[in-house]
Amino acid sequence: MPHFVKDIEEIQKRARQKIEDGAVTQTYGLDKDKVCEILNEALATEIVCVLRYKRHYFMASGIHAEGVAAEFLQHANEEQGHADQIGARIVQLGGAPNLSPEGMLTRSHAEYVEGDTLIDMIKEDLVAERIAIDSYREMINYLANDDPTTRRMLEEILAMEEEHADDLVSLLGELGK
């Protein structure tokens, strides 16, 4: 019976070349430096979101603060989880995660706005989530079928950013805003 993969000998031969590239084989359809650059922007975005949510967690005050602060902390932890996933994938692709504080905010798509009131904080977080949602969607479109592993990771992160946005809209609703 013929193999599903047509030229298995060619694949076997290619697999022995440049083995130091690890997971990145010769049929990787994209410029991996460009993919790492995009992922480093996503990494900066996640880190800025961690910092903003942490700030909001510590500064949340008022009678509704407790539940909202717990939500901020949960989001901060989830954004940190995204940052870790993205950092690990950058390394798998042969790149290096850029965690330098210098230029972090420039590389990030989302902004760092402190906000004066609980409502301001929630609204700023919602705006940041909406920015993340649009930028992840664009990255996913760019990756298309050329890097399904990175694409699937970003799809899962996108789904969680959508949940975050939804949580924040619910909080605004509960607070009557």
Residues that bind Fe ion (CB under 5 A): 46, 79, 82, 129, 161, 164
Contact assessment for residue 37 and residue 142, using Cβ atoms and an 8 Å cutoff: no
Q: Which residues contact 40 (CB under 8 A, 6 or more apart)?
A: 90, 95, 97, 98, 107
**Nearest CA among 75, 83, 77 for reference residue 40:** 83
Smallest separation, CB 30 to Fe ion (Å): 22
Smallest separation, CB 131 to Fe ion (Å): 10
For Fe ion, the closer of residues 11 and 133 by Cβ is 133
* Whole-angstrom distance, CA of residue 112 vs CA of residue 164: 17
Smallest separation, CB 151 to Fe ion (Å): 16
Q: At what angle are helices 148-174 and 65-92 packed, to 10 degrees?
A: 170
For Fe ion, the closer of residues 49 and 143 by Cβ is 49
For Fe ion, the closer of residues 41 and 161 by Cβ is 161
Distance of CA 62 to the CA centre of its chain: 31
For Fe ion, the closer of residues 143 and 157 by Cβ is 157
Smallest separation, CB 147 to Fe ion (Å): 19
